[in-house]
Amino acid sequence: MAAAIEIIEVVKRFGATTALESLTLSIADNEFFTLLGPSGCGKTTVLRMIAGFEPVSAGEIRLFGQNIAALPPDRRPVNTVFQHYALFPHMSVIDNVAFGLKMKGVDLAARRARAGKMLEMVHLSAFAERLPAQLSGGQQQRVALARALAPEPRVLLLDEPLSALDLKLRQAMRIELKQLQQDTGITFIFVTHDQEEALTMSDRIAVMSAGRLQQVGTARDIYETPLNRFVADFIGETNLLPVDVEAISQDASRVRLPGGGALTVPGTATPGRHTLSIRPERLVPDPAGPLKARLERVVYLGTDLHLMTRLQDGSGLVVRMQNSARSALPAAGEVLSIAIEEGAARLLAD
């Protein structure tokens, strides 16, 4: 598949501070691609450089094969949807959507027709003549999306556009955004610190930390096979256990677990102390399990129950169980034997 955006060994410095260190990424045409990481990791800086709001200190950014370093923002075929929607309060909804087309010199009839089509796409045709203040937060978000899509950009940049919405609305907008990307065929580059947003919408995710790329892959790749401790800990919930690698085969390692049990896990590492990642849902109380842990408390989360346990070496271990009336829960203080689903444990690079 052709690349929409190629970021080639890009460095970004702000004075003596290096915000991005030699970032290389390729984002495919018609892909929903997410830059994910904590505040300050450099993800928004990447977006601003693609848009042309920040110059590149070193390296290249190519848009469909063209080096765009010399192009000003208004000549790049990209549009941005910001966290704060920046709608014009004195303009009607349809005039807000048509504004970019007006700046491009599109005649009145054509731009209103295009704006009307965009409002239909985001299910806001009935609100065309209202002012932004007369809309809910979710409706304003959709107006901002329609405005950004109206000039038919080849790439749409989205800078944490859902963060100001309440939980229910964010969940609904995730579905709408993904559907909108599929309907338009436009490359979406989405920036967020919210792992759930990234996992539910993205074709691929780039996890970033401290200006460096940590891992790129599908949601399943990132969640199931994290490459290092940061990715495992940042994406979802996980148990990080100290283990000793004792033996290595061609594609697996034999590790000694806290408390003395042994386990063969995918991947290889040099003999010695390493970290093992195990997702809480991949653990289950089982008399034959190799882990021995004392139950400290049960946390009720509605759909799930978290068994908060402690291993013999003092390490905490969380076991997630589906909430069911058929499940008999152990009592606090009880020592449990816990099994690990086959293939679920991952050795991590620290």
pLDDT digits (tens, 9 = 90+) for 81-93: 887 778 899 999 9
Q: What is the pLDDT of residue 326?
A: 67
Instruction: Tell the residue number behind the tokens 């946390």, with chain if given.
Output: 299
Q: Is 85 helix (H, G, I), strand (E, B) or coil?
A: coil
Q: What is the pLDDT of residue 94?
A: 93
Q: Which segments of 79-213 does DSSP mark as H helices, in order?
A: 93-103, 108-121, 137-149, 167-184, 195-201
State the amino acid at position 114 in one-letter form.
R
Reported as a pLDDT band with limits 50, 70 and 90, residue 9 is: very high
184 CB neighbour count, 10 Å cutoff = 16
Q: What is the pLDDT of residue 206?
A: 97
**For the chain, how big is the Rg over CA atoms in Å?**
24
C-alpha–C-alpha distance, residues 31 and 3, integer Å: 9
Q: What is the pLDDT of residue 297?
A: 93
User: CA triplet 32, 38, 39: central angle to 5 degrees?
Assistant: 105
Average pLDDT over residues 118-143: 89
Is the model's pLDDT at 29 over the cut of 70? yes
C-alpha–C-alpha distance, residues 317 and 298, integer Å: 12
Q: Which segments of 211-271 does DSSP mark as H helices, in order?
A: 219-224, 229-234
Average pLDDT over residues 37-64: 94
pLDDT in tens, 291-327: 899 999 999 888 888 999 999 888 899 999 888 766 6
DSSP summary character for residue 154: S
Q: What is the pLDDT of residue 82?
A: 83
| Predicted model pTM | 0.88
Q: What is the pLDDT of residue 229?
A: 92
Is the model's pLDDT at 345 over the cut of 80? yes
Average pLDDT over residues 4-31: 94
Stated as kind and residue range, the H or E segment containing 264 is strand 262-266
**Which of the two residues, 17 and 322, has the higher pLDDT score?**
17
Residue 200: exposed, middle, or buried by beta-carbon count in 10 A (0-12, 13-18, 19+)? middle
